[in-house]
């Protein structure tokens, strides 16, 4: 029974893919593209197939103070450089990548996306990072971090840091106790709710002229604005913004 299942499985695979290019492990335990669900048979394919990779919905906004994300934050924070790897739409099949990372605790997907982002920033950014002394992930509350086991923004920061060679600092910005859930609130209510949640260790900003904050998805930008306000109340340094995905209305 198992034998016949295996024979059928192998024959189906061989009609669709070049089995000689697949590793034994991939034949026995196939991996699937998170976007289109096809079998990943090339060893260098990670999480998504080549075709889906080449069609990633890159935001192409670069890293500057004049793109869509920067404009969404204009008037709410001092001018800064902003960048986002992907344009996010919940209806897009690519949203599965973000959901896998954000809700299914697939840290590898986040790290993979962060490496891509780092490469994009290194290759195509016209603004350099020479004054940026730290990548600071948007923090989770201690309870949430304990529950989840890690901070997703920290995974992203680590991936970008690996490419840009800028240290990740988790000793600067912190989040206090969670108040009400943010998800069903409007922009003003989210802003009110976020006041006083974040706090910093000012001494740890010593010697830093410019930093980058990173979050997973930016929607209204309220979280980012609250964090920047919190830091700048204590020290006036340049704070730039990165996110893996940006969703705009």
Summarize as ranges the residues that interact with Zn ion (CB under 5 A). 33, 35-36, 49, 52
**Least Å from the CB of residue 215 to Zn ion:** 26
CB 190, min distance to Zn ion, A: 34
Q: How far is the CB of 58 from Zn ion (least distance, A)?
A: 16
Measured from the CB atom, the residue of 47 and 63 that comes closer to Zn ion is: 47
Residue of 198, 147, 192 lying closest to 177 (CA atoms): 198
Give 104 or 143: the residue with its C-beta nearer to Zn ion.
Answer: 104
Of 36 and 115, which has the nearer Cβ to Zn ion? 36
Least gap, CB of 120 to Zn ion (angstroms):
20
Residue closer to Zn ion by CB (options 12, 165) is: 12
CB of 94 to Zn ion, least distance (A): 10
Query: Which DSSP string do the residues of the chain spell out, in sequence order?
Result: -HHHHHHHHHHHHHHHS-GGGS-HHHHHS-EE-TTT--EE-STT--SS-HHHHHT--B----SBSSSHHHHHHBTTB-S--EEEEEE--TTSTTHHHHHHHHTS--HHHHHHHHHHHHHHHHHH-SS--TTEEEEEEPPPBHHHHHHHSS-HHHHHHHHHHHHH---B--SSEEE----S-STT--HHHHHHHHTTTEEE-GGGGTT-SEEEEEEEEESS-HHHHHHHHHHHHH---EEEEEEEEE---
Q: How far is the CB of 38 from Zn ion (least distance, A)?
A: 5
Q: Considering the complex, state which of residue 42 and residue 119 has its C-beta at the smaller distance from Zn ion.
A: 42
Query: In this complex, which beta carbon is closest to Zn ion, that of residue 35 or of residue 85?
Result: 35
């Amino acid at each position: 029974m198992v034998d016949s299942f295996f024979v059928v499985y192998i024959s189906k695979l061989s009609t669709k893919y070049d089995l000689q290019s697949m590793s034994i492990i991939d034949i026995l335990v196939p991996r699937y593209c998170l976007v289109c669900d096809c079998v990943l048979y090339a060893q260098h394919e990670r999480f998504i197939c080549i075709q889906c990779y080449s069609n990633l919905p890159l935001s192409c906004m670069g890293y500057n103070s004049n793109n869509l994300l920067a404009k969404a934050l204009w008037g709410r924070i001092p001018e800064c450089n902003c960048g986002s790897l992907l344009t996010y739409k919940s209806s897009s099949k690519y949203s599965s990548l973000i959901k896998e990372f954000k809700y299914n605790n697939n840290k590898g997907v986040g790290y993979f996306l962060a490496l891509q982002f780092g490469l994009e920033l290194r290759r195509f950014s016209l603004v350099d990072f020479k004054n940026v002394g730290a990548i600071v992930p948007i923090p989770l509350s201690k309870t949430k971090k304990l529950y989840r086991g890690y901070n997703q923004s920290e995974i992203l920061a680590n991936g970008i840091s690996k490419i840009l060679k800028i240290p990740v600092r988790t000793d600067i910005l912190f989040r206090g106790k969670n108040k009400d859930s943010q998800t069903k609130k409007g922009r003003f209510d989210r802003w009110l709710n976020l006041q006083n949640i974040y706090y910093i260790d000012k001494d740890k900003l010593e010697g830093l002229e410019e930093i980058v904050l990173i979050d997973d998805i930016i929607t209204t930008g309220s979280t980012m604005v609250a964090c920047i306000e919190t830091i700048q109340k204590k020290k006036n340094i340049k704070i730039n913004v990165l996110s893996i995905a940006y969703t705009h209305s």
